[in-house]
Amino acid sequence: MKSALSQLSFARPRTLEEALTLLRDEPLVPIAGATDLYVGLNFGTLKAQRFLDITRLEELRGISVTGDRLVIGAGTTYTTIMHSASVRAHWPILADAASQVGGVQIQNRGTLGGNVANASPAGDTLPVLAVADAILQLRSAQSQRAVPFNSFYTGYRQTVLRPDELIVSIELPMVEGKQWFRKVGTRAAQAISKLVMAAVRTEAPRIALGSVAPTPLRLRRTEAALAGGSSIEDAIGVLQTEITPIDDLRSSEAYRRAVAGNLLRRFWAS
Amino acid sequence: MRLTLNGAVTDVEAAPGRRLLDVLREECGLTGTKEGCGEGECGACTVLMNGQLVVSCLVPFAQAEGAEIRTIEGVGDHALQQHFMSEAGAQCGICTPGMVMTASTLSRDATLEDIRIALAGNLCRCTGYEAIYRAIQRARAATSA
Ligand SMILES: Cc1cc2nc3c(=O)[nH]c(=O)nc-3n(C[C@H](O)[C@H](O)[C@H](O)COP(=O)(O)OP(=O)(O)OC[C@H]3O[C@@H](n4cnc5c(N)ncnc54)[C@H](O)[C@@H]3O)c2cc1C
Ligand code: FES
Ligand code: FES
């Protein structure tokens, strides 16, 4: 394990342009806070490789409001997000999600872009980005494209991100209506399941769940049922047809289904 | 590679992919920083990097270049360490250096709730936390007196 770590090499560019050129010319793995990547390395599940350290890139850091969007650099840490007045004003549930990730040590290092690119269906910020209809700005040396967050994932830990691309920023269009966020179970208590729901209460409610499908999931049909005046019990019935949770180390399918239904009920009663 | 280690500018030779934890312990002789889980969960390896708490088992040494690193050897908050001893906030002691690092960032008027939140990333298998919270509160009260 430790000898494998000694084999790793790091490119540490100072500008985005330099980083994208390096990424075009050779296969490199971007590394930000390392809070996902180094866990894999310590377990020996990741092979020795060449990393592109993106923590020096100013272009990936910071939070701003541009027109009707909250724009967050992909390299922005949870600590910065949870203390940002702009985030608290426009997307308070993103601040809530950030403040519930890991402990202080992880919040100080882990980044929003890392959570998105890591593509775990259990990523805590992902349901928030799903209900925000967030837009990901992707850059390569040759191109720039804007990909809707809700079409970024194509399957379990699969994304449309190309090997020569970086996520530069994440844009959250502002929204009217009350925002709601709940995380059930904590990371420190591994035995307990972790389910995350994010929602916005508007005429057309928006609802998303983590850890109930191969990707973070927007519950479009449940949303339509509630918008169309269905009872909460009928809507929970629809929700059960939309989710496909599995049994795994953390919890059972039946438990996840029960928690998902309860979360919807609590959101609707809030 | 050059970094500032407990206040002193220091040059350290080590492979860039090694964990900051291992470099501190094996190359710099700073064995106060402990390894618990090696996966970011327990906080035993907590150090300050540019004034922020980080788990050194998840920091590639490359990213410590030019950084200011402070370890338990350089924390200098002796009231805190005294109270961990007198309140029996340490049993096996593996978690203690990390606990002290985290506690050293708390302000004097930190509430019990603030202490709990701050220590969410520091696990202790021995003490059940109450003694640790008490040690931190006593130490904070002592420094403000
Ligand atoms: C103890 C512990 C607790 C945790 N708790 C939680 C939790 O409660 N909730 C949660 O959701 N997560 C949790 N995590 C997981 C992790 O902290 C997050 O997923 C974090 O956001 C990852 O960000 P990073 O910057 O550390 O990513 P890295 O580890 O640096 O990278 C992760 C992946 O993203 C890629 N990547 C990173 N940035 C970019 C970019 N800009 N463009 C393209 N690719 C990129 C990397 O190549 C890699 O594949 C925890 C981890 C630990 C160790
Ligand atoms: S050893 Fe680093 S967090 Fe446990
Ligand atoms: S004293 Fe043993 S882990 Fe805390």
| First-to-final CA distance of chain B | 42
pLDDT tens-digit series, residues A170-187: 999 999 999 999 999 765
Cα dihedral B106→B90→A188→B100 (10° resolution): 30
CB pairs under 8 A between A and B: 92
**pLDDT over 60 at B35, yes or no:** yes
CA dist B84 and B122 (Å) reads: 15
Mean pLDDT (whole number) for A186-194: 53
CA dist A97 and A127 (Å) reads: 9
Please tell me the CATH superfamily of domain A178-269, with its number. CO dehydrogenase flavoprotein, C-terminal domain (3.30.390.50)
Residues of chain A with pLDDT > 70: what percent?
Answer: 93
In chain A, list all ranges with CATH 3.30.465.10: 58-173
Side-chain-side CA neighbours of A20 within 13 Å: the count stands at 17
Cβ–Cβ < 8 Å for A260, A195: yes
Find chain A residues with C-beta within 8 A of B51's C-beta. none
Nearest CB to A105 within list B19, B55, B62: B55
CA-closest candidate to residue B58, choices A100, A231, A102, A60: A102
CA dist A75 and A32 (Å) reads: 7
Predicted TM-score (pTM) of this structure? 0.96
CA dist B139 and A49 (Å) reads: 45
Q: By mean pLDDT, which of A103-107, A176-180, A222-226, B109-113 is the weakest?
A: B109-113
What chain B holds in terms of domains, given with CATH numbers, is: 2-74 (3.10.20.30), 78-144 (1.10.150.120)
Q: Tokens for A37?
A: 């990547």
Mean pLDDT of chain A: 93
- Burial zone of A133 (CB within 10 Å; 0-12 exposed, 13-18 middle, 19+ buried): middle
pLDDT value at position B143? 72
CA-closest candidate to residue A72, choices A203, A171, A216, A158: A171
Find chain A residues with C-beta within 8 A of B22's C-beta. 2, 5
Which bound ligand lies closest to the C-alpha atom of A74?
1
| Helix, strand or coil, per DSSP, at residue A175 | coil
Q: How confident is the model at residue A258 (pLDDT cuts 50, 70, 90)?
A: very high
Task: Enter the CATH code of domain A58-173.
Answer: 3.30.465.10
**pLDDT over 60 at B72, yes or no:** yes
In chain A, list all ranges with CATH 3.30.390.50: 178-269
Which helix (H) or strand (E) segment is A264 a member of? helix A253-269
CATH class for the domain made up of A5-53: alpha beta
* Residue of chain B whose Cα is closest to the Cα of A190: B41
The ipTM estimated for the assembled molecules is 0.96
Cα dihedral A258→A264→A265→A269 (10° resolution): 160
